[in-house]
Chain A
Amino acid sequence: GQQLNQSPQSMFIQEGEDVSMNCTSSSIFNTWLWYKQEPGEGPVLLIALYKAGELTSNGRLTAQFGITRKDSFLNISASIPSDVGIYFCAGHNNAGNMLTFGGGTRLMVKP
């Protein structure tokens, strides 16, 4: 089946630093999604990408849909303590009704 490899698994950074995480797949996806999950809450959609090569920003967050449709990255600029959480990537290939999720990147920000 399809798998998404998300890296890094965890990051511990200083406030103000930029952050980059990515997901790669052996299969093609038609949609890439990025979620953030804070402790004790459900994941919240941050950015949705629908076209290969698409670059989308949401405040300090920027995500790109890879040209090959097999990868995506998420960047966070000038991190702040409230960026702490687990970030998940997810891919959808229009076949069926399922998303494939990455394993998550746990982000910790030191004030």
Chain B
Amino acid sequence: SQTIHQWPATLVQPVGSPLSLECTVEGTSNPNLYWYRQAAGRGLQLLFYSVGIGQISSEVPQNLSASRPQDRQFILSSKKLLLSDSGFYLCAWNPGNTIYFGEGSWLTVV
């Protein structure tokens, strides 16, 4: 069966520090992969999606970037974090018309 994992689950980073969140999918090949952000108690905002290795589409201009170095790996990065980057980050993949989410990563920028 297919599973999706992301890590770390929680991190506290100072302003100006770099960020790397990693997501991997198991049990499938060539998945569509997504990064969402969710502010506390709010809805889901699509940040990036990828349909294949090295193919990244950005939905909103921001301080973040994404990369897909391998078929089932999706990485969310920042060179210098801002306070406004704090939030709950979710990786997801879609088989067909549904989306399945990872466990989420809480980022607090201090």
Q: Interface on A for B, CB 8 Å cutoff?
A: 30-31, 33, 35, 40-45, 48, 50, 86, 88, 90, 92, 94, 97-99, 101-104, 106
Contact = CB atoms under 8 A, between A and B. Distances in A.
B41 A106 contact: yes
Contacts of A45: 98-100
B61 interface: no
A35 B99 CA distance: 10
B103 A42 contact: yes
B69 to A, nearest CB: 20
Interface in B26-78: 32, 41-44, 46, 49, 51
B102 A42 contact: yes
A89 to B, nearest CB: 11
B97 A94 contact: yes
A50 B32 CA distance: 20
A97 B44 contact: no
Nearest to B6: A42
B104 A40 contact: yes
A33 B98 contact: yes
Contacts of A41: 103-104
A104 B102 CA distance: 18
18 contacts: A31-B98, A33-B97, A33-B99, A40-B88, A41-B103, A41-B104, A42-B103, A42-B104, A43-B90, A43-B101, A45-B99, A97-B32, A97-B49, A98-B49, A101-B43, A103-B43, A104-B42, A106-B41
A35 B43 CA distance: 12
Contacts of A92: 97-98
Given A42-B103, A97-B49, A104-B42, 9 more contacts: A40-B104, A41-B103, A42-B101, A43-B44, A45-B100, A48-B98, A97-B32, A97-B51, A99-B94
Give the 3 A-B CB pairs with smallest separation, nearest first: A42-B101, A31-B97, A103-B43
